[in-house]
Structure 1
Amino acid sequence: MMIESMTPTILMAGFAFGAIAATLMVTLRMWQGWLDLKRAELDRRAPPQGEERVEIAELRARVKQLEAIAACVDL
């Protein structure tokens, strides 16, 4: 008799556990997709190392030219 009265409770607990597990699986999949999206965005933004060095060298040359102009020196 006691088992018969516990059956609906066990079924509801099993259903709740399954629903929570499914929700967690979907949430984890969404989180992984979001992380993949952010990684892709960072990969698109980051220039390769060689290009970055060229940009820094160009900026240094521009600063040098501006300093020369400010000091009234012709390069």
Structure 2
Amino acid sequence: MFEPTLIIAGAALVGLTIVAAALLRAWQGWLALKREELDRHPAADRPDSGSTIGAARIELADLKERIKKLEAIASGVDL
């Protein structure tokens, strides 16, 4: 009535479903943990956070400098 192939396929499907459900539950737990960490320590309440606009400008300038260097390398100009 039941072939061994069908039994193996059914067991594999059930096993895959269980593993997928466990991984989904773990992922949701990890996201909840990260949300809790963010709620516990908001960046605006930290006295050492400072202004992020200045840091963003510095990072943007650094990225522009890297792009110029990469363009120079790509065009064959030696710096």
**Superposed displacement of residue 60, structure 1:** 6.6
Instruction: Report what 1:39 is aligned to.
Output: 31
Q: CA RMSD in A?
A: 2.6
**Superposed displacement of residue 34, structure 1:** 0.4
**Superposed displacement of residue 54, structure 1:** 3.1
Which one has a bigger Cα radius of gyration? 1
1:18 aligns with 2:10: yes
Number of residue pairs the alignment of both structures matches: 50
Between Structure 1 and Structure 2, the one with more helix by share is 1
Deviations 1:38-69 (A, max 9, x none): 00000000138xx41231xx2278xxxxxxxx
Distance (Å, rounded) in 1 between the aligned partners of 2:49 and 2:21: 45
Gaps of 5+ in 2: 51-79
1:52 aligns with 2:26: no
Higher RCO structure (Cα 8 Å, ≥6 apart) = 1
Distance (Å, rounded) in 2 between the aligned partners of 1:32 and 1:60: 34
Distance (Å, rounded) in 1 between the aligned partners of 2:24 and 2:16: 12
Gaps of 5+ in 1: 1-6, 62-75
* TM value normalised by structure 2: 0.53
